[in-house]
Amino acid sequence: MDRLSRLAVLLLAIYTTITVADQPEQTVFGLPGAEQDSGKWYKFNSPIKRVAVIGAGPAGIQAAATFVEHNFTVRLFDRAPGPGGNWLYSDEIPVREPYPDAPVNEEPWLPERIPATKYYNDRDDDLTLDHRWREHWQPRSIWNSLHTNSPAVITELKQAPYPPDHSWVISAHTIGAHVRAFASIHKLNANDESSVHSYSTRVEKLSKGQDGNGWTLTLKNLKKLEEPARLKATWWTEDFDAVFVATGPYTSPHVPEIDGLQEWTNVHAVDSEEESRFSVYHSRVYRRPERYTGKNVLVVGVGTSGSEIARDIAPLANKVYASHKKYDWDKLHPFQRRSFNRFPVETEFIPEISHFEPLPSLDNGIKDGKIVLVNGTILTNIDEIILATGYKRTNPFHRSALNETFDVEADAPPSDVFTGFALKNVHWTGHFIPDPTLAFTTVRPWTLGEYQYYGQAKVWEGTAHLPNEKELWAQYNSTRYNYFRGLFGTGPSEAIVRQYVTWLNNESLENGGRLVGPWPVQNREVFAYYANQEWEGSYISKDNFTRFENLPANQWTQKDIWDISVFEDEFW
């Protein structure tokens, strides 16, 4: 080779090095399988065969059905006696909420040696059987007249469609039956013979398998026995290669810490037939309006529960007050505005409570007590207080396994972003980082659930890939808030649907599996129409705001509806 040629080769080599180095690394997606891509994908230490699903609400029941279809050995656990999750209505009420709030990570009591069996008689350790039963399964927070705040089109599992003449807004009873119908189709209902599901079975503990792979669940089943009436508790463990957690977004009630409230919560209602009836309750025990007949009721909190319960009791109550924090109308989420407007016209809105004065006597209910508001006004003559102060997500069973890496509460968003189901350290596919043998539901189960749980099945069976750990974190960082916009209570965001469809179909074309279509565009249209009719047109209109001063000039517009339901992000 002459000098010139050598120089040319050298220059070419330098040029090639530079261009190669300049090539941006393909970070987000690429096709799996290519040689140079090994290391780009997350690799499981061992094959995944046994999968546990915790929770049989709309999320868990769909996930369990999907995992069964994919030939995993599936076990589905729910503390409740049947499927339905939040929508399993009962006249039973939960054990009264603690004051103040219980810590979010309180671990349940376990016998020293497991497996174990224990029989409980009525009043053992001063607890009734009824109390133990309700503590175990935790009756749901829904009331008899509850109707959805989400139209049917985004609150439907499509394998068990509602009848064609259903109303736009469906009752909680109908939704419960709907989820049970879905369960029956998949032989997962309480009366189906199957080795898959165990109802009345609560997961008490989640721990990492002995060899660092897989998971061990500690379980507790409670069974009612008759003659004599007893409860039989059984504890045992089961091992799994992967675990899917769908314990719901509203696991525990939240009560406010207001000076003096604690004392008021101990006071029995004077004119109630039930000896154990108190005057202060969290909204989750609310079932029917009758007991509020002729009463003066203070509702604390002006969210969805507060406004809907106020509507339910207003026709019977003597007076309904609603206490709210100071707010800036402009900065309220559309749902919060909607809630304000759902309050019955009879409601008297009052400022936040400063404190509850000590009661003059503990025998006369709370009627003589003084409630001091932040503006100095004193409210008296209240018969009943309903704390519609919301929920928090607790997950006592996995705290011990995950330590500080997983904060059980929903990922805290910047204040102007509403994230819904987003969880800390959880990738947009629902997989826990850094150990994707654990997965969560992080999407609206009714709409995006079918994509997310299919993706989890594919990842665990090896027909779809997750990127390596570094890339999982990078994607998490860039998507942790914005991907979830529009998922809570509204239709799925266009961006995340496309993200799922493209990812799943790319993977299926390479590695096998069925293809998926987009979320039906006609559903999106129906939902948008609903949002305009029911939220903007009817609830969010200038005419409905006469109670509020300072109505902002820029009202919630159609554009805003689309801003929350369709969020286009930088990837697309």
Ligand X SMILES: *[C@@H]1O[C@H](CO)[C@@H](O)[C@H](O)[C@H]1NC(C)=O
Residues forming contacts to ligand X in the complex (CB under 6 A) are: 29, 31, 69-71, 341, 350-351, 373, 375-377, 402-403, 405, 470, 473-474, 477, 502-503, 506, 538-539, 541, 543-544
| 124-134 residues labelled b (16+ CB within 10 A) or e (exposed) | eeeeebeebbb
Contact 284, 97 (CB under 8 A): yes
Residue 225 bridge partners (DSSP): 230
Q: Retrieve residue 445's tokens.
A: 């189960």
Give the interface segment with ligand FAD, choosing from 57-65, 114-122, 375-383, 475-483 (CB under 6 A): 57-65
Give the shortest CB-351-to-ligand FAD separation in angstroms.
25
- The smaller minimum CB distance to ligand X, of residues 89 and 454, is found at 454
Give the shortest CB-18-to-ligand X separation in angstroms.
25
For 51, list phi and psi in degrees, rounded to 5.
Answer: -125, 130
For 324, list phi and psi in degrees, rounded to 5.
Answer: -135, 155
Task: From 377, 384, 381, 359, select the one nearest 299 (Cα to Cα).
Answer: 384
Give the interface segment with ligand FAD, choosing from 50-58, 333-341, 361-369, 410-418 (CB under 6 A): 50-58
- The smaller minimum CB distance to ligand X, of residues 262 and 506, is found at 506
- The smaller minimum CB distance to ligand X, of residues 9 and 551, is found at 551
Q: Retrieve residue 272's tokens.
A: 């109630």
202 binds, among ligand X, ligand FAD, none (CB under 5 to 8 A by kind): ligand FAD
By the rule CB under 6 A, 397 interacts with ligand FAD: yes
Among 142, 300, 310, 443, binds ligand FAD (CB under 6 A): 142
Q: Where are the beta strands (DSSP E) in 227-375?
A: 230-240, 242-245, 252-253, 280-282, 296-300, 319-323, 348-350, 353-356, 371-373
Torsion of CA 432, 435, 438, 441, to 10 degrees: 20
Give the shortest CB-20-to-ligand FAD separation in angstroms.
47
Binding mask 433-462 for ligand FAD (x = CB under 6 A): --------x---x-----------------
Give the shortest CB-506-to-ligand FAD separation in angstroms.
27
142 binds, among ligand FAD, ligand X, none (CB under 5 to 8 A by kind): ligand FAD
Task: From 102, 446, 406, 457, select the one nearest 253 (Cα to Cα).
Answer: 102
86 binds, among ligand X, ligand FAD, none (CB under 5 to 8 A by kind): ligand FAD
Question: What string of DSSP letters covers 443-475?
Answer: S-TTTTHHHHHHHHHHHHHTSS-PBPHHHHHHH
56 binds, among ligand X, ligand FAD, none (CB under 5 to 8 A by kind): ligand FAD
- The smaller minimum CB distance to ligand FAD, of residues 299 and 359, is found at 299
Question: What string of DSSP letters covers 521-554?
Answer: HHHHHHHHHHIIIIIIIIISSGGGGTT-SS--SS
337 binds, among ligand X, ligand FAD, none (CB under 5 to 8 A by kind): none
CA gap 197, 190 in Å, rounded: 8
Stretch 300-329 residues interacting with ligand FAD (CB under 6 A) = 305
- The smaller minimum CB distance to ligand X, of residues 256 and 351, is found at 351
Torsion of CA 161, 162, 168, 174, to 10 degrees: -130
CA gap 35, 138 in Å, rounded: 52
Give the interface segment with ligand FAD, choosing from 39-47, 84-92, 376-384, 556-564 (CB under 6 A): 84-92
Query: By CB under 6 A, how many residues form the interface with ligand FAD?
Result: 31
Give the interface segment with ligand FAD, choosing from 242-250, 337-345, 461-469, 523-531 (CB under 6 A): 242-250
Give the shortest CB-69-to-ligand X separation in angstroms.
6
Question: What string of DSSP letters covers 468-500?
Answer: PHHHHHHHHHHHTTGGGTT-SSSPPPHHHHHHH
Give the shortest CB-402-to-ligand FAD separation in angstroms.
15
Residues that bind ligand FAD (CB under 6 A): 54-60, 77-80, 85-87, 141-142, 148-150, 155, 202-203, 246-250, 305, 397, 441, 445
